[in-house]
Amino acid sequence: MKNEAVAADISWQVDDFIRTGPTEPAGRYLRRFWHPVYHSVDLVAGRPVPLRIMSQGFTLYRGDDSGAAFLVDERCPHRGAQLSAGWIEGDALRCFYHGWKFDSTGQCVEQPAENSAFAAKVAIRSYPVREYLGLVFAYLGEGEPPEFPLYPEFDSFDGLLEVDSYSRNCNYFQNLENALDMSHVGFVHGDNQVAFNGIGDGKGSKAVESSWGVTYSYTRPDGQQRIQQFGMPNIFYMLALPTDEDIGWQESLFWWVPIDDELHMQFSLHRVPADAQTAARISQRRQQRRGEIDLAHQDVCEQVLNGMLRLRDLDPKRIDLVRLQDDVAQIGQGRIADRKAERLGSADIGVASVRRLWRQEVSRLYQGAALRTWRRGPELVPAAWGLVGAPAREFGGVAGSEGRELATVDVRPYVEVKAQLLALHGAAARATR
């Protein structure tokens, strides 16, 4: 009896960060924050799209009048038609079925077959949206949104801002935990051209709570450190591997955003400081690389996990290998990893620390206590092997002061864009309804 009680308690604890529907604990918690939900370049004026985030459906569109992005409910309150099938009139959205029209605040303003007094009583919900650094961010919670978090290092510097994303067929928290797991790097990515060997043992790993979340570090035997910053609830700030011969380790920001409990997006930004000439060269090579990758990592992962293909038989030119290696590791844990069966060791300190923070916050939510406000102070920056904030961490309005627009570059492989859009548009959920 006692054991059962303990087991029940554990299951509450391990589930509290997994399920993100509107009424689930993690879903309620995540909805207190702004999240990236779409790429700005994919949102074409006059073409509303269905969007699925945290097991909830929405309609996202760009108004013809203002060019601004708007996010409203998925369905029409008249008889439930999918609003993304309708059309845009100015900044308003008209339902395809019987023509009810909703302004950008969600207020119904026309019902062709009814008198207009009825329209005043009908509204859909409209959610706060903001476009920043090439991404559409949304606030899906109740009440006033929190202050919008800015990343000045990423919005004002001389160089390129790479905008990337991918979908992965597993729970978002598996990816989040993987970021705070240095010990996987030498194994999962061990055959990569950049040497990882020998990093990540339990002795050298440290996870310290910060004002933003967790500062996660690893110290090599020679004293050099790699420092990464986890930001609550689902953000990571690190120095990422060089992706081009002209680029050193680059600062990157990641967000893991659930589409549903078994599928999520990673959105990422990479800050590449460079003079105009180098930037043009890098940009050209990155565009070429988008076309060279002709295998979608999701499909290849499926074949590997089905025992039909081995990772080492793949031509690394045709695929983003790091992404695929992480796919195989994380999706291999199951669409939702069974954490009751796991055996954590000392090298899992980062995983344990982030779960602890999440549990504390979700407990507060349960108890109706005030939630902590997380803020990234200027001291919370990443470093790798002596390259503190490198390369060339010289921000301070360079791009802005020259009156030059920061160049944002879409680096998603072409072969993956469609899969990502289908995932974001809720294709999986629609197929099983």
Beta-strand relationship, 56-62 and 205-209: unpaired
- Measured from the CB of residue 323, what is the shortest distance to Fe ion in angstroms? 9
Residue 242's closest CA among 162, 151, 135, 350? Answer: 162
- Measured from the CB of residue 184, what is the shortest distance to Fe ion in angstroms? 6
Judged by CB under 6 A, which of 14, 45, 68, 81 binds ligand FES?
Answer: 81
327 is an interface residue for Fe ion by CB under 5 A: no
CA 223 to mean position of chain CA atoms: 32
- Please report, for residues 40, 225, 418, the alpha-carbon distance to residue 74 in angstroms, rounded to integers and kept in the order given: 19, 47, 21
Nearest-angstrom CA–CA distance, 420 and 163: 14
Q: Which is nearer to ligand FES, 100 or 127 (CB)?
A: 100
78 binding partner (options ligand FES, Fe ion, none; Cβ < 5 to 8 Å by kind)? ligand FES
Per-residue x/- marks for ligand FES, 276-295, CB under 6 A?
A: --------------------
- Measured from the CB of residue 103, what is the shortest distance to ligand FES in angstroms? 15
326 binding partner (options Fe ion, ligand FES, none; Cβ < 5 to 8 Å by kind)? Fe ion
Query: Which H or E run contains 250?
Result: strand 250-260
Judged by CB under 6 A, which of 6, 9, 44, 79 binds ligand FES?
Answer: 79
107 is an interface residue for ligand FES by CB under 6 A: no
Contact 29, 270 (CB under 8 A): no
97 is an interface residue for ligand FES by CB under 6 A: yes
Q: Which is nearer to Fe ion, 244 or 327 (CB)?
A: 327
Looking at residue 123, the DSSP 8-state letter turns out to be B
Residue 262's closest CA among 432, 77, 76, 28? Answer: 432
Q: Count the residues of the shown chain that bind ligand FES, applying the rule CB under 6 A.
A: 9
87 is an interface residue for ligand FES by CB under 6 A: no
- Measured from the CB of residue 50, what is the shortest distance to ligand FES in angstroms? 14
Contacts 24+ apart (CB under 8 A), 361-369: 361/29, 361/232, 361/233, 362/16, 362/17, 362/25, 362/26, 362/29, 365/25, 365/28, 365/29, 366/25
326 is an interface residue for Fe ion by CB under 5 A: yes
- Interface region with ligand FES, contact rule CB under 6 A, candidates 71-79, 140-148, 174-182, 285-293: 71-79
Contact 249, 139 (CB under 8 A): no
Judged by CB under 6 A, which of 100, 139, 218, 374 binds ligand FES?
Answer: 100
Judged by CB under 6 A, which of 78, 220, 364, 393 binds ligand FES?
Answer: 78
Looking at residue 50, the DSSP 8-state letter turns out to be E
Q: Which is nearer to ligand FES, 93 or 357 (CB)?
A: 93
What is the token pair recorded at 156? 């004002």
- Taking the CA atoms of 217, 221, 222 and 223 in sequence, report the sign of the dihedral they define: positive
- Interface region with ligand FES, contact rule CB under 6 A, candidates 63-71, 72-80, 156-164, 183-191: 72-80
In the chain, the N- to C-terminal Cα span, in Å, equals: 39
Nearest-angstrom CA–CA distance, 250 and 239: 5
Residue closest to Fe ion (Cβ): 326
Judged by CB under 6 A, which of 51, 60, 69, 76 binds ligand FES?
Answer: 76
Q: Which residues of this chain interact with Fe ion, rule CB under 5 A?
A: 326
Q: Which residues of this chain interact with ligand FES, rule CB under 6 A?
A: 76, 78-79, 81, 95, 97-100
